[in-house]
Amino acid sequence: MRFAAVLWVVVFCIEGVGRAPAQPVQTGHVAMGDGTRLHYEIVGHGKDVVVVPMAMYLSEALVPLAEGRRIVFYDPRNRGASDAADLATVSLDRQIEDLDQLREALGIERMALIGWSGLGMEMAVYAIRHPDRVTRLVQVSAVPPTAAMMAASGDRRAGRVDQTAVAVVDSLASAGAIDSEEHCRRRRQLTEAANFEDPSLATRSPNPCRYENEWPVNLWPYFEALLGSFGEYDWLEEIGGLDIPRLVIHGREDGIPMEGGRAWAAGFPAARFLELSPAGHFPFLEQPTAFFPAVDRFLDGDWPDGAVLVEE
């Protein structure tokens, strides 16, 4: 559970790419019903609104999409710059409720959603529950749509990591030989290359360890609470009832097998699947010249080149 939780979300940035100086940026916090504050960043301006969870990882990487649009990046509770709430409040249902409260607080009537990795599944669940509030959905490197698929396919990233070295670092932390922030940094050095087809790109990652929420001592219990709330999930029937256009993007070399990504689109007329290669868990980083034009075109209302219907 611990290794899977740590790999559920990973870190990166695009070397030399940041927010363009001309882009307006607004930051703040919105209090949820229980008082927990979610951090958000609003980049760009325009009539079309796109909401993207995991600001601490994605706000720099996906800023090219803010041209002519307003993008709202945010950190879920207990992540990044958002408040650390009681773990009893952490669940999939609460994640969906928090997003809707954030939407309402920011005065957003309808929005496109971009969900990456585990959030690719969560944003689909939001669209299932609130289809009238979602215009389009992009799922990037998403975990499979059923718990059974996830269990059967596994996560190949685990086999790309020196588990002995990780165990040594964990032992040092348990013995108090290194503090929690150093534990985070050393684990990151050992695990993040597993997310890339080109391991050299791992050196471009930002430092999530600046956030206490991201230290293993806090992150592991968070994931145990969140993943424990998923149960034996199966979203295939409900996602099939959506007529919201969906673009599913997956790297062929991702540690999360591509079959799980294809399953989100298979048999659904409103969905298209785009395979990118060579690309691991970060197709926007490893294949930016393909990724950004494709998502731009989709958000503008058209299917991108290479995006295909998938037969069931």
CB 273 within 8 A of CB 248: yes
DSSP H or E stretch at residue 140 = strand 134-140
Report phi then psi at 297, rounded to 5.
-65, -40
Rounded-to-integer distance, Cα 150 and Cα 75, Å: 24
Task: Kindly report, residue by residue over 192-227, the tens digit of the pLDDT.
Answer: 999 999 999 987 777 889 999 999 999 999 999 999
DSSP H or E stretch at residue 135 = strand 134-140
CB 44 within 8 A of CB 24: yes
Rounded-to-integer distance, Cα 239 and Cα 85, Å: 30
Task: Kindly report, residue by residue over 94-145, the tens digit of the pLDDT.
Answer: 999 999 999 999 999 999 999 999 999 999 999 999 999 999 999 999 999 9
Query: 130: burial class by Cβ within 10 Å (0-12, 13-18, 19+)?
Result: middle
Higher pLDDT: 45 or 206? It is 45
Q: Is 87 helix (H, G, I), strand (E, B) or coil?
A: helix
Confidence at residue 10, expressed as pLDDT on a 0 to 100 scale:
35
Q: Describe the crossing of helices 216-228 and 163-174 by its angle, rounded to 10 degrees.
A: 110
Task: Kindly report, residue by residue over 20-39, the tens digit of the pLDDT.
Answer: 445 778 999 999 999 999 99
Residue 291 pLDDT exceeds 60: yes
Higher pLDDT: 15 or 57? It is 57
CB 242 within 8 A of CB 128: yes
Q: Is 162 helix (H, G, I), strand (E, B) or coil?
A: coil
Residue 4 pLDDT exceeds 50: no
Question: To the nearest whole percent, how much of the chain has pLDDT over 90?
Answer: 85
Confidence at residue 306, expressed as pLDDT on a 0 to 100 scale:
97
Question: To the nearest whole percent, how much of the chain has pLDDT over 70?
Answer: 92
Confidence at residue 22, expressed as pLDDT on a 0 to 100 scale:
52
Q: What is the largest CA-CA distance in the chain?
A: 55
Angle at 78 between CA 76 and CA 81, to 5 degrees: 75
Rounded-to-integer distance, Cα 254 and Cα 276, Å: 10
To the nearest whole number, what is the mean pLDDT of the chain? 91
Report residue 243's pLDDT band, with 50, 70 and 90 as the boundaries: very high
Domain boundaries, the chain: 2-156+227-244
Report residue 7's pLDDT band, with 50, 70 and 90 as the boundaries: very low
Report phi then psi at 222, rounded to 5.
-60, -50
Say which CATH class 2-156+227-244 falls into.
alpha beta
Confidence at residue 129, expressed as pLDDT on a 0 to 100 scale:
98
- Scanning the chain, the segments in alpha helix (DSSP H) are 2-8, 55-61, 92-105, 118-129, 147-153, 163-174, 180-191, 216-228, 236-240, 258-265, 283-286, 288-299
Confidence at residue 207, expressed as pLDDT on a 0 to 100 scale:
80
Rounded-to-integer distance, Cα 292 and Cα 230, Å: 31
CB 279 within 8 A of CB 197: yes
Higher pLDDT: 159 or 217? It is 217
Alpha-carbon dihedral 131, 10, 68, 72, rounded to 10 degrees: 60
- For tokens 């790109």, name the residue: 201
Q: Tell me, what DSSP letter sits at residue 109?
A: S
CB 219 within 8 A of CB 191: no
Here the tokens at position 170 are: 């964990």
